[in-house]
Amino acid sequence: NAGVTQTPKFQVLKTGQSMTLQCAQDMNHNSMYWYRQDPGMGLRLIYYSASEGTTDKGEVPNGYNVSRLNKREFSLRLESAAPSQTSVYFCASSEDRWAGRTDTQYFGPGTRLTVL
Amino acid sequence: TQLLEQSPQFLSIQEGENLTVYCNSSSVFSSLQWYRQEPGEGPVLLVTVVTGGEVKKLKRLTFQFGDARKDSSLHITAAQPGDTGLYLCAGTGAGSYQLTFGKGTKLSVIP
């Protein structure tokens, strides 16, 4: 039982390049999330998927796209990377997503992305 | 947008000392969570509190949810080097789907 896995662990891109961050969970969770973590800013939600086949914008979606490929996998794509997207990206999953209630979110180990 | 303010931002203490970390907001939260994050890893949930005035204990860690459900505190007794890490509070507002994170308190416990 690996929990939440993310690939790659580290990536360096040049401005304008594209890439996809991969995330998979083996806990049969319905909901999945992408966050970015910047020094002094905490964790900010980029996109989430409440269930297979649905995706919604979070707090900071500009410059990103997501795909919920199936129940297990949720990918994040940067179409044209910018230096402002240098960050640590975390994928998380939870059993469900309820209004006004917080299920435990399980986080992956993160992808450290640098855009030059 | 509901904001969570954590204080202090940084804390460096000697092994064996006690400490308290605070998480405050002007908004009411239906539930609040505390996570710990170690360097190079993702956050891991420590506790969820849902009732105003609730107190939960996890070994040497004591968590309290304010009566008005706008604030929370984390108290560590006799801190150990293994407690070193980034402590994050996160809350969900009534009727909201989004989990809002505070900016975190970075704790260093010196042996």
- A16-46: per-residue pLDDT in tens? 999 999 999 999 999 899 999 998 888 999 9
Query: Closest approach of chain A CAs to the CA of B108, in angstroms?
Result: 17
Cα–Cα distance measured from residue A69 to residue A84, given in angstroms and rounded to the nearest whole number: 27
Tokens of A53: 């086949």
A108 touching chain B per CB within 8 A? yes
Question: Which residue of chain B comes nearest to A4, CA vs CA?
Answer: B42
Query: Average pLDDT of A90-113?
Result: 83
In b/e form, how buried is each residue of A69-106, taking b as 16+ CB within 10 angstroms? eebbbbbbebeebeeebbbbbbbbbbeebeeeebbebb
Q: At residue B99, does pLDDT exceed 90? A: no
Q: Is B16 helix (H, G, I), strand (E, B) or coil?
A: coil
Which residues of B fall within a CB distance of 8 Å from A50? Answer: 97
Specify the pLDDT at position B17: 97
Q: What is the pLDDT of residue A64?
A: 97
Facing residues of B44 across strands? B36
A102 and B42 within 8 Å at the Cβ level: the answer is no
A99 touches chain B (CB under 8 A): yes
Q: How far is B89 from chain A (nearest CA, A)?
A: 10
Query: Of B41, B88, B91, which has the smallest distance from its Cβ to A43's Cβ?
Result: B88
Q: Give residue A101's pLDDT.
A: 62
| B8: β partners | none
Q: Looking at the complex, does the CB of residue A29 fall below 8 Å from at least one CB of chain B?
A: no
What is the torsional sign of CA A61, A38, B81, A10? positive
Of A10-14, B26-30, B72-76, B96-100, give the lowest mean pLDDT range.
B96-100
Task: Please give the share of chain B, as a percent, with pLDDT higher than 70.
Answer: 97
Residue B5: count of CB within 10 angstroms of its CB: 14
- DSSP summary character for residue B98: P
CA distances from B66 to A102, B6, B22, B74, B103 (A): 17, 14, 11, 11, 19
